[in-house]
Amino acid sequence: MTPAFVKDADWLDWHPNPSKPKFVVPAGAVDAHCHVFGPGDIFPFAPERKYTPCDASWGQLFALRDFLGFEKNVVVQATCHGSDNSALLDVLERAQGKARGVVTVKPDIAVAELERMHALGVRGVRFNYVKRLVDPKPDDYYRGIIEKIRPLGWHVVLYFEPSDLEEKKEFFNSLNIPLVIDHMGRPDVTKPVEGPEFEMFLDFMRGNPKIWCKVSCPDRLSLSGSPLYTDVVPFAKTIVEEFPDRVLWGTDWPHPNMKKEMPDDGILVDYVPSIATTPELQQKLLVTNPNNLYWSD
Ligand code: 0GY
């Protein structure tokens, strides 16, 4: 049978055989940023998508979770599925309480549908400002969504780049809702960690106690590369040490849009102690913080 979707010609597939991490994650650890893709024959990719990936199914995600030593996942809606969250909700149904979700919705979504999602384990929506992935919408579009999710106690996951933060930080703060920033707002790690660009990000976090940060994706940000990602370490370590109660970490499996090299997920886990250097910080980053944000009710 012909598959419903053919992945992009330059698509890199997730690592088929990651190494076993040397770093043993603490009991109850959460992979707080990962995705599923399809499978496209069952859960079609969105017509408006900007990439067509390989499949990355719920079963493959759970196998990786167990192999790396994590207990739970937070599955984040990938842009290739648009606002059709069926694949993600299917993961939540199968996960027996071991997964929570962050969806993408439109302002006209029915409250009953949001409540159904909440019962399945959804705790947030994602607003994506990265233009190679989506066409960002006007502020009022997002405000309409906020007013619908606020009664559910959800938060907003934001994916942006430094230039977007400069433009949008007042709007983000005006939302008066917990914000979770993907991949540290994608700092340019060739710039100094004490420089104005990263300082703007730290000031954003200092000024709003409702902001959380995923210190994830060294593989996306690094020029020095694996296994140590030394150029990213100072950025992530600074955030972990200044905001130990507001940081999260995730693999980002199945790693959409990697153009040169697919990371080894075991090596990504081994990176964690270089940015959270004590057992106390590791416990907060991997266990306490994600459980507080995603499993408190
Ligand atoms: C990530 C990063 C990327 C993609 C997406 O939803 C997505 O398509 O988030 C990216 O290409 O930087 O967090 O998965």
Q: What per-residue confidence (pLDDT) applies to 297? A: 83
Residue pair 31/285 in contact by the 8 Å Cβ criterion: no
Task: Look at the pTM and tell me if it is higher than 0.75.
Answer: yes
Separation of 169 CA from ligand 1 center, angstroms?
Answer: 21
Separation of 78 CA from ligand 1 center, angstroms?
Answer: 6
Separation of 60 CA from ligand 1 center, angstroms?
Answer: 18
Cβ–ligand 1 distance for 258 under 6 Å, the answer: no
Domain 30-294, classified CATH 3.20.20.140, yes or no: yes
pLDDT digit string (tens) for 101-143? 999 999 999 999 999 999 999 999 999 999 999 998 999 999 9
**φ and ψ of 267, to 5 deg:** -70, -35
Strands (E), 241-289: 247-248
Angle between helices 265-275 and 233-242 (to 10 degrees): 50
Q: What per-residue confidence (pLDDT) applies to 230? A: 98
Cβ–ligand 1 distance for 219 under 6 Å, the answer: no
Listed as ranges, residues in the chain with pLDDT below 50 are none
Domain ranges of the chain: 30-294
Atom of ligand 1 nearest to the CA of 50: 8
The alpha carbons of the chain give a radius of gyration, in whole angstroms, of 18
**φ and ψ of 238, to 5 deg:** -60, -45
At 283, is the secondary structure helix, strand, or coil? helix
Q: What per-residue confidence (pLDDT) applies to 2? A: 82
